[in-house]
Amino acid sequence: MELALLTPLLMLMALFLAQLALTARDQIMVVHSAREAARAVAVSSDSSVARPAALAASRLDPQRLRVRVEELPGTDNVSVRLDYRSPVRVAPFGVVVDDLVLSGEAVMRSER
C-alpha cells in the first residue's frame, strides 16, 4: 500500500491517541481530587471544604466540576464524588463526540 494512502489514517490514529492521553490525564486528576476533597472533609467535618480542596488538588475547570458530599449512614465515613465534564480537545473528535463525563469517588473515616 502506498504511503500517501496510509498517511491520513496514521494521522487520525495519532490524534485519537492524543485525545485518549488527555482523557486519561483528566481521569487521574478527578480521582486524585476526590481523594483530597474526602480527606479535607474528614479532617474538618465541614462539607463546604470539599470543592476548594478538589480544585486546589488539580487544574480542573471549576465550571465543569460537580462535587457531592455524603455522610454514610451508620458509619463515621464520609463520601465525596466528583463528576467532571472532560472536553474533547482534538478537533476531528470534538465534532462527533460530546464532552465525556468522568467520575471519581473517595470514602474516608471522619476524624472528628
Report domain extents, the chain.
3-109
Give the model's pLDDT for residue 15.
92
Q: Report the C-alpha gap between 41 and 56 in whole angstroms.
A: 14
* Tens place of pLDDT per residue across the chain (112 aa): 688 889 999 999 999 999 999 999 999 999 999 999 999 999 998 999 999 999 999 999 999 999 999 999 989 999 999 999 999 988 887 777 889 999 999 999 998 7
Measured over the CA atoms of residue 58, residue 29, residue 62 and residue 68, the dihedral's sign is negative
Q: What per-residue confidence (pLDDT) applies to 90?
A: 86
Cell of 41: 472533609
pLDDT given at position 3: 83
Q: What is the pLDDT of residue 60?
A: 94
This prediction's pTM:
0.88
What is the reported pLDDT for 1? 63
From CA 112, how far away is CA 102, in angstroms rounded? 30
